[in-house]
Amino acid sequence: MLEEKTYTIKGMTCHHCVHSVSEALQKVTGVKDVEVSLDTSEAIIEIDPQTFDSAEAAQIVADAGYEMIL
């Protein structure tokens, strides 16, 4: 069963930021779908709870230069 999670992402100010965060999240283990909104500063992701690790996601987002609030 997949689950939908919503996280606030800090530091996005243009659509290139949105693209970077999307690309980063797509690389995270267990992430099946990613939707990032500049308007709401949110990432809505579809994940497999068996393999997804939010700390891993936050680290990969941090490596891309943004902050994912857990």
Interface contacts to ligand 9UX, rule CB under 6 A: 13-14, 16-17
SS3 66: coil
Closest to ligand 9UX by CB, 41 or 52: 41
- Nearest distance in Å: CB 36, ligand 9UX: 12
Residue 8: partners with Cβ closer than 8 Å, 6 or more residues away: 41, 42, 68, 69
Cβ proximity to ligand 9UX: between 38 and 44 the closer is 38
- Closest separation between CB of residue 3 and ligand 9UX, Å? 28
- Residue 4: other Cβ atoms inside 10 A: 11
CB of 28: closest distance to ligand 9UX in angstroms? 19
CA-CA distance, 59 to 16, in Å (whole number)? 19
